Amino acid sequence: MRKQIAAANWKMNCTYQQAEKLLDEVLQSEVNLSYGSEVIFAVPFPYLIMANSEVADEPNFSVAAQNCHQKKSGAFTGEVSAEMLKSISIKYCIIGHSERREYFFETNKMLADKINTCLENEINPIFCCGEPLNIREAGKQNNHVETQLIESLSHLSPQQMENIVIAYEPIWAIGTGKTATTEQAQEMHAFIRSVLRKKYSSELAEVITILYGGSVKATNANELFACADVDGGLVGGASLNAKEFIEIMKALK
Ligand code: PGA
């Protein structure tokens, strides 16, 4: 059984006080998570230490950064390195979210470097991929996603690859309230697994956790997570509401 994950991507939301409250509410829910599943809070940088200490005694809960710089250190004002994240015991880092690709011009090559710096620092990347609407309308989504996977991940050894979580997030479904249908999600997840099978092996393709992201809510999490190749979700908007997010956690297989 692959690891099932509900990851909350808070993006640039919440004051410190709101963040503490939201974390407390979710942690106090005492949802009975199935064996091997994990809940991850991708919180803004200033809250990482606080969030990590909140989850310290909770074996199924972890914290993620939302980004890191590709270089080890240096004159990059305002940036945060993977080594810094490691030094405060952060377990995961989102890499290549479509908002970073679009607003901060992150390229597949740059993301390959970010993946490397995470792995060197024992941080598990949550690698995001997914197509914009015009590519989906042209029916070219598989090519698009395959290129993202190949250009950012295919240099990794099978051992390194085992530390990656993939998040498929069709851009047209992010923050739009428009969710991919279960058929669209399952089809793309199965395709991603086929790319991994071709490049690596069937064994590896079977163990990689692939999350779906894009308007996951309490009302659609059950049917999305029930898809054979969907191993949970990367949740934006709905993760800012404790009640909603708790329902999504309950939907994990
Ligand atoms: P959304 O965001 O759930 O608000 O669509 C998902 C994401 O961007 O990770």
DSSP states of 43-64 as a string?
Answer: --GGGHHHHHHHTTT-TTEEEE
What percentage of residues in the chain have a pLDDT greater than 90? 94
Specify the pLDDT at position 1.
81
Q: Residue 51 is which amino acid?
A: A
Segment 152-162 shows an average pLDDT of 98
For the segment 37-63, the average pLDDT, to the nearest whole number, is: 97
- Residues 131 and 142: beta-carbon distance below 8 Å: no
The angle at the Cα of 253, spanning 61 to 228, to the nearest 5 degrees, equals 125
* pLDDT classification of 36: cutoffs 50, 70, 90: confident
Q: Residue 35: pLDDT above 90?
A: no
Closest by Cα among 179, 159, 170, 79 to 119: 159
With the most atoms of ligand 1 within 8 angstroms of its CB, the residue from 5, 176, 216 to mutate is 216
Choose the residue to mutate in 66, 95, 174, 239 for probing ligand 1, maximizing ligand atoms within 8 Å of C-beta: 174
- Taking CA atoms only, the protein residue closest to ligand 1 atom 3 is 236
Ligand 1 contact via 214 beta carbon (within 6 Å): yes
User: Tokens for 226?
Assistant: 């029930």
Distance CA 93, CA 138 (A): 32
183 an active-site residue?
no
Mapped onto helix, strand or coil, the DSSP state of residue 93 is strand
Q: Which helix (H) or strand (E) holds 204?
A: helix 202-207
pTM: 0.97
Q: Is the pLDDT of residue 75 over 90?
A: yes
The answer to whether the CB of 209 falls within 8 A of the CB of 126 is no
Q: How far, in Å, from the CA of 41 to the mean position of ligand 1?
A: 13
- Tell how far the Cα of 201 is from the centroid of ligand 1, in angstroms: 30
In angstroms, the CA 14 to CA 22 distance is 9
User: What single-letter amino acid sits at 35?
Assistant: Y
Question: What is the residue with the minimal CA distance to atom 1 of ligand 1?
Answer: 236
Please state the rounded mean pLDDT for residues 113-129. 98
From the number of C-beta atoms within 10 Å of its C-beta (0-12, 13-18, 19+), residue 108 rates as middle
